[in-house]
Structure 1
């Protein structure tokens, strides 16, 4: 049971990190495109956990249900505020959260999005 307990703690820490990232995006993500992409990796880890059958045992069913609901709530918020679709090369398959960009961000991210991807978003100072 000790291993399961530490996995649950890690999962809830990732949920909190995802929530904090989404809050940063809501307030105007303050960092670079590379950092933005790195910060999305927490959602990748959550997706792996959501598909992990070893976490869907009878003794964890209620905790897993709460975990899934928490991720879904944060996903909904991110989806609503990250409404700009990121252009990607044809055939490049990415999860939906990698294809979304917030409507507004700090100067650094906004400038990089324009320079690298020809995407224009509102700058939040």
Structure 2
């Protein structure tokens, strides 16, 4: 995110602010990604913080709406980041010092194994996974599980990467099938094409 001078460009800062806002949405719904993704995401706020603290020209040139959104995002996260994980971090850098009080099961397990910090498993992502697993246990064909999640407006269908992640976590798919699911999730394949591709295997 930083240029060769070590100072983030205004474009990078605006993108960081956008991604920070998206991260907040993930946290409110129960962070669905892996620990490595989370650590990258919280680094976004450190990039922004450095620019804010230094009063850099890059930060000052950000649109006022973007600056407001950063503060609004911070405010929305402060009430969620209640679990202290890294007490040596400065209190002012709460996004590093603390972690959300709840997240997806897999993330919680990874975080506890790595840092011996317990986070409550609770997420919309897991709720959908449970429903998808139930469909599989009932004998629902894999393609129908995917289609139901997407066409019934489930949380996992709010973006292609989440839909792909859910389908690949729930279903035993070969590499070719995974490629087909990704193409379908991003809109390159229609529902009928996915059905054909998965029935070929």
Same fold (TM over 0.5): yes
Q: Tell me: CA distance 1:30–1:97, structure 2 relative to 1, closer, same or farther (3 Å).
A: same
Structure 1: any 5+ residue segments left out of the alignment?
1-6
Asked if 1:103 corresponds to 2:101, the answer is: yes
SS of 1:40's partner is helix
Q: Distance in 2 between matches of 1:56 and 1:120?
A: 35
Q: Distance in 2 between matches of 1:27 and 1:98?
A: 19
SS of 1:23's partner is helix
Aligned to 2:117: 119
Q: Tell me: CA distance 1:49–1:67, structure 2 relative to 1, closer, same or farther (3 Å).
A: farther
Which residue of 18, 37, 60 maps to 2:20?
Answer: 18
Q: Distance in 2 between matches of 1:77 and 1:105?
A: 16
Aligned to 2:82: 83
- The number of aligned residues is 112
**TM-score with structure 2 setting the length:** 0.49
Q: Tell me: CA distance 1:56–1:35, structure 2 relative to 1, closer, same or farther (3 Å).
A: closer
Q: Are 1:79 and 1:100, in contact at CA under 8 Å, matched by a contact in 2? A: no
Cα distance, 1:35 vs structure 2: 1.9
**TM-score with structure 1 setting the length:** 0.74
RMSD value over aligned CA atoms?
2.3
Cα distance, 1:102 vs structure 2: 1.0
Q: Tell me: CA distance 1:81–1:54, structure 2 relative to 1, closer, same or farther (3 Å).
A: same
Q: Which has the larger radius of gyration?
A: 2
Asked if 1:34 corresponds to 2:32, the answer is: no
Q: Are 2:89 and 2:96, in contact at CA under 8 Å, matched by a contact in 1? A: no
Higher mean alpha-carbon deviation, 8-17 vs 33-42, is at 8-17
